[in-house]
Structure 1
Amino acid sequence: MNRKALIIGCRDLRLITTHMTLKSLNVSSTIACLTYMPHEDPHSEVILEKVDQCQKVFSPEKIIVENHVALRSKQISPELANLEEISYILVNDSSIAQKFKSLYPEAETHIIFEGILNLNNQTHASQQLEQATYHYLQLHPPLVHYLHAENIKWIDDTTVIESISEVKEILSCENNQSKPDRSILFIHSSINFLNKQKFLIQQVAVIESLLKSDFKVYYKGRDACDFSDIQNRVQHSLRDNLVDMGDASVPLELLIRSGEFKAAVGLTSTSLYTLEKYLNIPTFTFPLTLKGTYTKRTPWRDFIVRTFCFTYKFTPDYRELTNEAYDKFEQLKNYNDFFYHKNPAKKPPSKKQKKIISGLRKITAHTKKAYRSKEHRKNLIIAITNKISKRLQKNNDVLFVDSINMKDIKNHYLDYFEKASKLTHKHTIISNDIIDKVKYLYMANRSKLIVTSINNKTLIDENPAIQHLQIWHAPGAFKKILVSRTGSFVASSSAITPTVYKNFNVQGKVYPIGTYSTDIYFNQDKINERRQSIYQDNPGLKGKKIYLFAPSYTKDKSDKNKPIVYTDLNYEQISQQLHNDEVLIVKHHPSIINRKIRGEECTDLSYFNNIIDLSHYELFDLLTITNSLTTDYSSVIYYAMLLEIPVAAQIYNVAINPNDLCFDFFSDFPGPINQTNTTADFIALLRNNLKHDKYDHFKEQHLGSCDGNSRERLTQVIEELVATQ
C-alpha cells in the first residue's frame, strides 16, 4: 500500500523536525510543499537552494513552492488541493493544518512545533484530541508546562541530535573542526511590542562592544531589513567586521557552520537553547532595559519579557567575552523591580464603566465601601444566580466540578462514569473569572447533585443551596483543610473517617469506599504500558536507579506569598555527586508549573543530564519507573505506597505548622525525614530511602479501602444520592 505524506513548510530547522517525524511514520513516498515569505523571490538562489536541500533529504515525488501567507489565508493552489492518495499531512502551522484536513479528511495530521509556539498551541492541541498528533521540541524546559496527552508527542534530545547528524550526512556537510577564534554569532530578537528604536539601540550597543573587542560578528536577523537597521547605527569604523547571515530563526546553514563560531549572543531562550543543546555553540546573553522600552503591558507579553530575565539569570553575560566589568545582581534586581515592586497606576474608569458601577450601586442599595468589598460581591453573585435558577427545573442529575489548575475528575473518573452510569451529567471548571463563577452557579442550581474534588469555600462548601458530594483529589488524610460545611464525603479508608468528619465538617455521610484516582495503580497492564511508554520517550532512563522528587505547593517561611520551587537545593552539586547509574527526576506541583508558564522564578534544570524535569508526565507514569519518592508535606506519598515504593521527606524551609496536619508527622511519617538543605544530606536521603518499619501500618490506615474498584463503588454512591433527590 502506498502511504504518501504531504510535507508543508519543510525548510530551515523545520527540515530537521520534519525529518524526525517522518522517521516515526510508515511512509513510502512524499510530496513536499516548500513555503516562502512575501519579501522573498520564489525563483531566487536562496529558495532554489532550499528546494535542493528538500530534494536530497526527502526525495519527494514532487516539490511545490507556495507563498506562506497565502496558505495561512487558506488560498491553496489547485495543484496542492487535488493530490491523490495522501495518507499523512505534516505541517508546522495549525491554521494551515485545518484547511488541509478538510481537503484530505482521511489523512493523519501531524503538526510540528518548536520554540515559543509551544506555549500558544498546547492548549489548542488539548482541545482537538481526535484531529491531529502534535509534535514538540522541548525548547523551554525551565518555563513550559509540558502537557502529556495521547495526541502530544515530545521529541527527545537524542532524536534531535540523531536527525541533525543524518541530515548533515545526506547533504554531505562536513563539520568544520577548525578552532573558533574571533567569530561571534549574534541572534537578533524581533519583539514587535517593544519600542523598536530603543530596542535597536540596546542591541547595537552590544554589537559595538563585541566589535571593539576585535570580534567578527555574524548577524542573524528575522527580516530582510533587520541588518540594514543595525548596520546604519553601528560606527563606520566597525562595520567591516559586521557580516549579514540573512534571515530565518535557525537556518540549516547554522547546522553546517556551527563549528566556526566561538560563541553566540542573543536574548531569547529558544535560540540560545537550540544553539547550545543541539549545535554545541557556547551561548551568552545581555540584559534588556525595560523602562521606556516595554510599555503597553499584557499578561502574555509579561511572560515573554520574563523569559528574558530567566535567560539572563542562567546564561553568562556577553561581557565575559569582552572582559568588561558588570554587576549581574544589579541587572537581575532591575528585572525584579520592574515586575514585582512597581505597580502601575490603574486607569480611571471610562464613562460607560462609571454608568455600570452607578447602576449596580443603586441595585444593591449599599454604600460605595460595601459594594467594593469582596464579601459583598460574592454574596451578590450567589443571591442573584440562585434567585434566577430556582425558577428553573433541575434538568441535570450530576454536575462534576474541577478547578482551573486541577482537573482530576475529568482526567481520572469522567470517562468511566459516562460508560458505567445512565445518569445525565455535566462538567464545568471553577476559576477566578466572573463568567466561570456565574456559569457554575447556574448549572449547580439546575443539578440534583454537585460532585467535586477541590476545596472552594465561596461557591461550593459554604453555599447551602446545593447538594454536595466531596470526593477529594487525593487519598489518605494528610493536611487539615477546614471548611464551614461539606455535604457528604468519600474517604480512602474507614480508619480515617473520624478525621474526615472533623476536618471537612461533614454534614452528611462519609463513604469509606476508596479514592477514584487510585484504581489505575491496581491495573498491571496499565503499569506495564506506561512504563514501556516512558522508557520509549526517554531511553536514557533504562537501567538507571531513579529517584523521584515531587515537592508540594508550599510557602517560603520568610515570604508566605512566595511558593517554594526548591531553588534552595544546590542542583549543580547534586548533579556532580550522583553516580553514573543514578538519575533524579523532578515533578513540580501543578500550581508551580502554572507559575513557571507565567515566567515567575523557578529552578532551571535544563543544563543537567542526570537531573530531569518531567513535570509534563502524570505522577502515575513516573512512579512506574521510580525506585523511591522524596517529597515534603504531600499526599503523593499515598500513590507511591500503592506501588510499594519507599517514601522520604525533604522539609527544609517549608512553612507549615505540624498542627495543620492530620497526624503526628515526625512520629508517624513512614520514611526518613531531612530538615537541612545540604547536598550531602539530600543525596543520603535519596540513597538510604528504604521501606520504614511503620510503612505497612500507615498504608493500611490511610489506604485500606483502595483495591482497584473505587470508581465502581463511587458510581453506586452517586446514583443513590441522586435517587434521593
Structure 2
Amino acid sequence: MYLKHKIYGKLFNLFTKFSINDKQISFILDSSESFKGNLDYIKKEFEKRGDFQFNFFYKDKLSFSSFKRLATSRYVFLNDNFFPLAFMNFKKDTKVIQLWHAPGAFKKFGASSDNKSRNILGKISRNIDYLITSSDNIEDYYSEAFQINKSKIKSLGLPRADYYFKNHNLDKLRDNFDSKYPIAKNKKIVLYAPTFRDNPENNNVFNFLDLEKFNRELGDEYILVLRLHPKIKKFFKDKIEVNQEYVDCSDFKNEQELLLISDVLISDYSSIMIEFALLDKPIIFFTYDYDTYMSEDRGFYFDFKENVPGPVVYTTDELIAEIKNNDFDKNKISEFRKTQFNATDGEASKRVVDFLLNDGGKNG
C-alpha cells in the first residue's frame, strides 16, 4: 500500500551519508505551497538569530540536490502529513519538527478518526522529534491523532497566529479591500467560510443560505463575503452562483488579512473559528445539515453545541436574527480561547526557535 513512499524513503536514505550543515534549515511543502504560514513565521524568526541557510523542499519536485540538502539539514520543519517520513532515516543530529497547519483541536483527525491510519502515523511519528501545539489542553488529542508519544509534544503556540499581534493599519487594509470590491464600501463584512462536506449536495451553500433574504434584511449595513474551502472551490464553485450581491473571496491570497478586517464570522464545522476567536469578534455557527454531518462525518473532540464560542443556528432566519440582535457572549469566546491557546501574545515563533536553539530546553 505504501510502496511509493518506501521507495521515496530509500532514495532519501542514500544521502544521509553526508555531514550535517548546522546552519541549514529545510521546510517540507508541496509545490502549491499549501499551509505555508507557520513555515514563513519560523523562517522569519531564524533570520533574526543569525546567518542560516533556508531550503524549501518540494515533496512533489524531486532531485538529487534537494534530497541532499534535506538530508544535511540541522532542522527540518513540516506543516502537514508526509507519509514517506515513515521510511526516512534522518541523522541523529537532525531535528524534525511538525508544526501542523490547523489551530487547536476541534474536528477529529488522523488516527482519532481513522483507525486504519494508526500504523503508518505511528511510524511517521517515530521520526518526528517535536510536535508543536498551541495548548496543554489538547495534547491528548494530538497524541492520539498522530500516534505520538506525549513527551514529544510541546505546547509553544501556533506560529502563524503571531500575525494578529503585529501592528496592522486596519484602515489601509480595509481601503484596499474596498478598492478591489467596491460593493463592500461602507458596509460591515460578514465572512462566510463553510467547510467541505462529504455529502456533495450539501456543499452548495446557497441552497441553504437565502442570499436574497440576507441582502433584503441586512444589505444596508452588511456585505456577505464568501470564502470557500479549497475542495468546494475545486468541485462545486461553478454551481455556487446566484443573482444577488456578495463578494467571492475564495481566491483572496491572505486569509488572515480577511479575518482581520471582518466584523462577523459565519462558520460551521471549520477550524477557522479557532483562529478567529483570537480576535474577540462574533462567530455564528450556521449548521444547516447538522444531523447529517454528525452522523456521517468524523466527529469532534468536544460537544459541539455546548462548547463552540457562539450561537448555533440552522436556518437563514435564525442567522439573520443573530446578526440583527448583535448580542454575542464575548466571555464564551474568551473561555473557549483559553482551551485552545496557552498564551495569546504573538510570541509563538520566538518560543519555538528559542526551544530549538536551546537544544530542546537542555541548555540552560
Distance in 2 between residues matched to 1:455 and 1:437, nearest whole Å: 21
Tell me by how many angstroms 1:617 deviates: 4.4
Q: What amino acid is aligned across from residue 614 of structure 1 in structure 2?
A: C
Q: CA deviation at 1:541?
A: 2.8
Q: Shift of the alpha carbon at 1:416? A: 4.0
Larger relative CO (CA 8 A, sep 6+): 1 or 2?
2
C-alpha distance in 1 between matches for 2:355 and 2:172: 31
Letter of the 1:376 partner, please give it.
Answer: L
Corresponding residue to 2:37 among 397, 402, 408: 408
Q: Give 2:106's aligned residue.
A: 478
Corresponding position of 2:70: 444
Question: Which of these residues, 270, 273, 277, is aligned with residue 634 of structure 1?
Answer: 270
**Residue 464 to residue 428, structure 1, CA distance change in 2 (3 Å):** closer
- What's 1:378 paired with? 5
Partner of 1:397: 24
Is 2:223 the counterpart of 1:587? no
Q: Superposed, which structure 2 residues align to 1:45-444 within 5 Å?
A: 374-386=1-13, 388-395=14-21, 397-403=24-30, 404=32, 405-409=34-38, 411-430=40-59, 433=60, 435-436=61-62, 442-444=68-70
Cα distance, 1:443 vs structure 2: 4.0
Residue 586 (structure 1) shift = 0.8
Distance change in 2, residues 1:579/1:555 (3 Å): closer
**Cα deviation code 1:10-69 (max 9, x no counterpart):** xxxxxxxxxxxxxxxxxxxxxxxxxxxxxxxxxxxxxxxxxxxxxxxxxxxxxxxxxxxx
Residue 708 to residue 409, structure 1, CA distance change in 2 (3 Å): closer
1:69-110 CA deviation, whole Å, 9 max, x = no partner?
Answer: xxxxxxxxxxxxxxxxxxxxxxxxxxxxxxxxxxxxxxxxxx
Q: Aligned match of 2:354 in 716, 719, 723?
A: 716
Q: Which runs of 5+ in 2 are unaligned?
A: 111-120
Distance 1:723 1:669, change over 3 A: closer
In 2: Cα distance, 1:683 partner to 1:441 partner: 54
Do the aligned partners of residues 468 and 592 (structure 1) sit closer, same or farther apart at CA in structure 2, a change above 3 Å counting?
Answer: farther
One-letter amino acid of the counterpart of residue 16, structure 2: K
Q: Cα–Cα, structure 1 residues 620 and 582, in superposed 2: closer, same or farther, change >3 Å? A: same
Matched residue type, 2:75: L
SS in 1 for 2:55: strand
Secondary structure of the corresponding residue to residue 580 of structure 1 = coil
SS in 1 for 2:354: helix
SS at match of 1:694: helix
- Measured after TM superposition, the shift of residue 544 of structure 1 is 1.7
Instruction: Quote the residue 1:662 is aligned against.
Output: 301
| 8 A contact 2:55–2:70 mirrored in 1 | no
- Specify the SS of the correspondent of 2:186: coil
Question: d(CA) in 2 for partners of 1:688 and 1:479?
Answer: 29
Distance 1:519 1:540 in 2: 31
Asked if 1:543 corresponds to 2:167, the answer is: no
Distance 2:39 2:133 in 1: 19
- The residue aligned with 1:291 is none
Unaligned runs of 5+ in 1: 1-373
1:402–1:429 contact (8 Å) kept in structure 2: yes
Specify the alignment match of 1:603 in structure 2: 240
User: Is the 1:402–1:428 contact (alpha carbons within 8 Å) kept by the matching residues of 2?
Assistant: yes
Residue type of the alignment partner of 2:56 = H
The SS at the match of 1:649 is strand
Contact 2:192/2:225 (<8 A) preserved: yes
Q: Using the TM superposition, give the Cα deviation of residue 629 of structure 1 relative to its aligned residue in structure 2, in angstroms.
A: 0.5
Number of the residue aligned with 1:518: 161
* Alignment partners' CA distance in 2, 1:487 and 1:624: 33
> What does residue 113 of structure 2 align with?
none
Residues 1:408 and 1:417: Cα distance change in structure 2 (over 3 Å): same
Report the equivalent of 1:672.
311
Residue 465 (structure 1) aligns with: 89
| Cα distance in 2 between the residues matched to 1:442 and 1:567 | 49
Tell me how far 1:671 sits from its aligned partner.
0.9
Distance change (3 Å), C-alpha of 1:441 and 1:689: farther
2:255 to 571, 594, 619: 619
Query: How many pairs were matched up?
Result: 334
Name the CA shift for 1:429/1:380 in 2 (closer, same or farther; >3 Å). closer
CA distance in structure 2 between the partners assigned to 1:429 and 1:504 by the alignment = 22
Contact 1:494 1:705 in 2 (8 A): no
**CA shift for structure 1 position 577:** 4.0
Give, as a single letter, the amino acid of the residue that structure 2 aligns with 1:470: Q
Amino acid at match of 2:54: H
CA distance 1:699–1:690, shift in 2 (3 Å): farther
Aligned to 2:174: 531
Distance 1:651 1:437 in 2: 46
Report the residue type matching 1:383 in the other structure: K
Deviation (angstroms), 1:613: 0.8
Partner of 1:505: 147
Is residue 8–residue 84 contact of structure 2 (8 Å, CA) maintained in 1?
no
- The answer as to whether partners of 1:586 and 1:612 remain within 8 angstroms in 2 is yes
Shift of 1:715: 1.8
Q: Residue 286 of structure 2 aligns to which amino acid in structure 1?
A: Q
Cα distance change on mapping 1:447 and 1:556 into 2, 3 Å: same
CA distance in 2, matches of 1:563, 1:488: 38
- Specify which of 337, 356, 364 is matched with residue 699 of structure 1: 337
Deviations 1:670-713 (A, max 9, x none): 11112x4x432343354456433532211112123221111211
Q: Name the SS of the counterpart of 2:284 in structure 1.
A: strand
TM-score (norm 1): 0.42
Closer, same or farther in 2 for the Cα pair 1:384/1:472, shift >3 Å? closer
| Distance across 2 between alignment mates of 1:406 and 1:697 | 27
SS of the aligned residue for 2:224 comes to: strand
Q: Is the 8 A contact 1:628 1:689 kept in 2?
A: no
Secondary structure class of the residue paired with 1:704: coil
**Over alpha carbons, which structure has the higher Rg?**
1
Q: TM-score, normalised by structure 2?
A: 0.78
